[in-house]
Structure 1
Amino acid sequence: MGDFAADLWSHPRLMAAVADEDWGAVFRAYRRLTGVSQMTLGERVGLVQPDVSEIERGRRRVTSVEVRQRIIAGLGIPPERLPGTAVGADALPVPGLTFAGMAPDEDLLARVTTTVDGVHSVDAATLDWLDRLLAEHRRAEDFIGSGPLVEVMGQQLRTVVKLYAGARGPLVDRVVRLAAEHAQFLAWMAQDQGQSAAALAWYDRSHEWALEAGDADMAATTLSMKAHMAWSGGRGRRCVRLAQAARWSAPGASLGVRGMAAQMEARGHALNHEPDDARRLLDDAQALIGRATQHPEDEPPWMYFYDETWFTLQHGMAAMHLSDWPAATRHITTGLDALPPNYRRDRTWYLSCLAHAHAAAGEAEQALTAALASVPDASGVGRPHAWNELHTTAAVLLRHGAPEGRELTDALRAYD
């Protein structure tokens, strides 16, 4: 058995799959070489058969460190076959998150490590690096979605919190501000995955830390994002109230942050079918955003995405709630045409919304075209929001008696 195991993990296909941490390919090659069933493999690694099947088919990613370790132990993967063995299995980064230029130099790495291990010291260089790392993670999430990042961001926040004990003078507020930014990002990722209770808890924590650090921009942003959650849940009045709180409670916030709050209030009014208030606030938001784009250096780092393109897309969303389908399709199409390709998750979402708007307008062919373009990414990076919107689009088409509704339904089932 020992010789067989050694030969097994020397097989080129298995070696390549393990080196890439492509666990679906590992499962497929392992079963092909050993002849075991999905059920038997699942028993070895502590997964049920449907989960094994989903991983093999690429419909589920292994992002949990604990699951990864169970796979390694259960299949007996030799340590030397694993990438990055020198740093230890528990310290491996999430695959795909090693950014060029983001690793600290040896001196900086030593400072971060000793701080976390209990030597109470922290300096500006350490915090500068963590700022840059957070910025890269935000941009990665735009493309790969939140799933692969949740665990690594939780670990990063724990590092920041441990730095608090070693901070002195003006660095104290900076550490707290950095913790607030991490908590806000974790809240957004929980919201993106439909985990409302966790998202609200993280937003509350972020808001508290922002107030402690005197960060008006983050304090207002967390209230705007809670308004967004209310809007997503169909609670227009709560959306309006939270967005108003974001505007009134932080008058010193940046133009972009204030513009975000204004457009969130507008969307709440649109959801409540209050067109006059919605359009008035959209005009206010557009004016604020136009001024903000003239001085992007004055905006906080998490507002990097917020510009006239993003506002145009949001304008389209408000038009959808007002049943102004021509305006909705016009704004969303214009926004999508200007959206950079690295915003993969957002493109998927707005394509699904465009499909819905076309379907509601009775434009079945255009609805199907937009929906089918969205389906592949909606089944992965766009779940659950874009995926649910596509199902809504199919239902609208079917209600209208359009044959495209059945075609879209079949396409969605092929990805289920």
Structure 2
Amino acid sequence: MSGRELWADGRLRAAWASRDWPTLIRRYRALAGISQQRFGELVGMDQGYVSRLERGRARVTSEDVVARFVKGLQMPAELGGVQNNSSVVWDPPAELRERVAHAHAVGRMDLRTADWISRVLAEHRRAEDEVGGRSLWPVVRSQLDAVTQLIPSSSGESADRLMLLAAEHAHWLSWVSWQEQRRGPALAWIDLAHGWAVDGGHADMASWAQRVRAHYSLQQGDPVRALRTAEAARYVGARPLSPAAEAVAVHQAAMAAAALAERDRARRLADEARALALRAPEAEDRPGWLYWLDPLRVQLQAADTAYACRAWAEAASGFKSALPRLEGYARDHAYYRARLEDAERRA
């Protein structure tokens, strides 16, 4: 595996973003299967200094040393603009809109860069549960810069493809902002995601962005708005949605209906969502950002709707049978464990 390929790893990228040199060295060496001696050869340092860095007994204070890491470890170009994440700027900058406004110009672009960034974003989605979104924030922002810088020199299908990739990044940034209690930036990022998806003709992503907005509204205690937005997410353009994209919109509508005590309606929507989701049981049948919607998650969503409808015994049964298969997802496991315990207490 080449040095560049190693940089698809989310934890390695998070260590770079935070300038956590001990973690970066350990993670790189583990992924590459190399010794401290070999690592030192790659970056032009002796083994003793590498050892002190890895144990936290030495610090990197020279930009020359940083440059050696960049060159010797074959760091991807989009990481060059990553700054230390101690001061996160949450709001989307104006220049992103300017770059996207110039799409469909005549020109050429490097699709290999877009392919690479798309792959890495998929890795970040999976890594976020382990390392946290805040740690990966500077990396994803730098990637979004790389994507939007390609758009002015793109045209036709290439520009549309980049619009989708930009929208996926904006959605991720919105989600992390929301988790960090940054409500305003979260809404700004999801609006960008929706607009870019519509501009690029990507119905599934446009629907997903509206579904996320509905989720935000429900979390903020506004089920009327959440239901309206979730229902609108099913009808975003002339093209039909994929089964998985429609399934998550319908499930969100079911949750909002349950919050409004419209339980029969919620049940009907939940059954519809389940049937739609089970039409796309394999990851390749779903949009990339819905990689998680496998049959296990479909079961958990059904249990979640039962919980929202106060069908405590049914909810508890669904959570209980699914939890053993969630061991590798610490955050989700804790969430559904708490729901299970509450449902059992109420049953």
Shift of 1:170: 2.3
TM-score by length of 1: 0.59
In structure 1, the partner of 2:28 is: none
Aligned to 1:248: 235
Corresponding residue number in structure 1 for 2:325: 338
1:333-370: CA deviations, max 9, x gaps? 222223361x2322222222223333444xxxxxxxxx
| Shift in alpha-carbon separation, 1:86–1:322, aligned structure 2, 3 A | closer
Post-superposition Cα deviations, 1:10-66, rounded to whole Å, max 9, x if no partner, equal xxxxxxx853379xxxxxxxxxxxxxxxxxxxxxxxxxxxxxxxxxxxxxxxxxxxx
2:264 maps to 276
CA contact (8 A) 1:19 1:82 kept: no
> Counterpart of 1:260 in structure 2: which amino acid?
V
- Cα distance in 2 for partners of 1:344, 1:204 equals 30
1:257 paired residue among 215, 226, 245: 245
Partner of 2:216: 229
Matches within 5 A, 1:202-217: 202-217=189-204
TM-superposed CA distance for 1:268, in Å, is: 0.5
Residue type at the aligned position of 1:144: V
Shift of residue 121 of structure 1?
4.7
- Counterparts of 1:5-404 in structure 2 under 5 Å? 19-20=22-23, 78-79=61-62, 85-87=68-70, 91=80, 121-250=108-237, 252-293=240-281, 296-339=283-326, 341=328, 343-361=329-347
CA RMSD of aligned residues (A): 3.0
Q: Which amino acid aligns with 1:150?
A: W
Taking a change above 3 Å as real, the CA distance of residues 311 and 231 of structure 1, as seen in their structure-2 partners, is farther
Residue of structure 2 equivalent to 1:414: none
2:153 counterpart letter in structure 1:
G
Question: Once the 2 structures are TM-superposed, how far is the Cα of residue 185 of structure 1 from its aligned partner?
Answer: 1.1
Give the whole-Å Cα distance in 2 for the aligned partners of 1:172 and 1:271.
40
One-letter identity of the residue aligned with 1:87: V
Offset of 1:240 from its aligned partner?
0.9
Separation of aligned partners in 2, 1:126 and 1:81: 26
Hey, what's the Cα distance between the residues in 1 that align with 2:130 and 2:342? 23
CA shift, 1:184, in A, is: 1.0
Shift in CA distance, 86/121, structure 1 to aligned 2, threshold 3 Å: farther
Q: Is the 8 A contact 2:278 2:298 kept in 1?
A: no
Name the amino acid aligned to 1:349: Y
For the residues of structure 1 that align with 2:153 and 2:80, how far apart are their CA atoms? 23
Query: Aligned partner of 1:271: which letter?
Result: A
Q: Partner of 2:40 in structure 1?
A: none
Shift in CA distance, 271/292, structure 1 to aligned 2, threshold 3 Å = same
User: What do residues 259-291 of structure 1 show as CA deviations (whole Å, max 9, x unaligned)?
Assistant: 111111000011111110010001101110111
**Aligned positions, number:** 268
Kept in 2, the 8 Å contact 1:18–1:82? The answer is no
Compared CA separation, residues 130 and 77, structure 1 to 2 (3 A): closer
TM-score by length of 2: 0.69
The answer to whether the 8 Å contact 1:312/1:334 transfers is no
Structure 1 unpaired stretches of 5+: 1-16, 23-71, 96-119, 362-416
Q: Give the secondary structure class of the aligned counterpart of 1:329.
A: helix
| TM-superposed deviation, 1:91 | 4.0
What is the CA distance between 1:246 and its match in structure 2? Answer: 0.5
- Taking the TM superposition and a 5 Å limit, the aligned residue runs for 1:401-412 are none
C-alpha contact 2:211 2:230 (8 A) present in aligned 1: yes
Distance 1:325 1:216 in 2: 36
Displacement of 1:230 in angstroms is: 1.6
Structure 2 unpaired stretches of 5+:
1-19, 26-55, 72-78, 85-106
Query: Structure 1 residues 82 and 267 mapped into 2: Cα distance closer, same or farther (>3 Å)?
Result: farther
Q: Give, in angstroms, the shift of residue 190 of structure 1.
A: 1.4
Amino acid at match of 1:231: L
Q: Distance in 2 between matches of 1:77 and 1:185?
A: 31
Secondary structure at 2:143's aligned position in 1? helix
Q: Say which structure, 1 or 2, has more relative contact order (CA 8 Å, 6+ apart).
A: 2
1:222-256 CA deviation, whole Å, 9 max, x = no partner? 01111111222222111111110001224511100
| 2:304 maps to amino acid | M
Distance 1:288 1:245 in 2: 17
| Partner SS, residue 249 of structure 1 | coil
